[in-house]
Amino acid sequence: MTLSTSALVGGFLAGLIHPLSLTAHVMALLGLGLMVGQQSRRGVILAAFALGLMVGLAALAAAVGETRAPVVLLAGAAIAGLAVAIGCPVPGILAAPLALVVGAAVGLDSPPRAASIPAANAALAGTALAAFAAVALIAAITARLRREWPRIGIRVLGSWIAASAILVVTLYLTR
């Protein structure tokens, strides 16, 4: 394997791990995935998330400056978590924009740390794949839950996500 190939693979793997290694990202992806799983029109919402993700990552690739993406990400996690805790289907007109915003925030908050542009782009691709796969998988598992106690557990998890995110968003906004 040449140096450039190994750099690409390394960048891709680093990007793959990135959204799964940051607490805020995990909270947002988990909350959104659980929420999507409770909805009926999951395809539309997942498509919105993917679009937002692409927009956010493209903005990063275009060297957009510092943004408030971390706060937006946590706010999205809080809203998704509340929706999950309440357990009622969210209207598509609200769920899709939320997914779009969370996707964009995940993308914008995933700056690659690579030595070359190709490796950085590989990292962005890895991030896109990991983030979308995580949300889609969580949504698929959630949608298949039929028994009462696992569905209740999902709602408890949603409340935990919402509670954690609300606290940190408040902290960030007051700093």
Partner 1 sequence: MNTPTRPTIAIAAMLLTLLAASPAFAHTGGSIVGGLAGGFAHPLFGPDHVVAMVAVGLWGAFLGTPAIWLLPVVFPIVMAFGGVLGILGITIPWVETGIAVSAIVLGLMVALGVRAPLAVAAVLVGAFAIFHGHAHGAELPAAADAVAYSVGFVVATGLLHVAGIAFGSLTRWPVGQIAVRAAGGAIAIAGVVFLGVIG
Where along the sequence are the contacts to partner 1 (CB under 8 A)?
A: 23-24, 27, 74, 82, 85, 152, 155-156, 158-160, 162-168, 170-172, 174
Q: Contact, 109 vs 69, CB < 8 A?
A: yes
Report, in Å, the least distance between residue 160 CB and partner 1.
5
Report, in Å, the least distance between residue 84 CB and partner 1.
10
The two tokens of residue 54 are 């692409």
* Helix residue ranges, H only, 62-147: 69-86, 92-108, 117-144
Q: Contact, 84 vs 154, CB < 8 A?
A: yes
Q: Contact, 65 vs 113, CB < 8 A?
A: no
Q: Rank residues 67 and 159 by Cβ distance to partner 1 and give the closer one.
A: 159
Report, in Å, the least distance between residue 78 CB and partner 1.
9
**Burial environment of residue 69 by CB neighbours within 10 A (0 to 12, 13 to 18, 19 or more):** buried
The two tokens of residue 170 are 């408040």
Report, in Å, the least distance between residue 49 CB and partner 1.
21
Q: Rank residues 64 and 152 by Cβ distance to partner 1 and give the closer one.
A: 152
Question: How far is residue 109's CA from residue 42's CA, in Å, rounded to a whole number?
Answer: 24
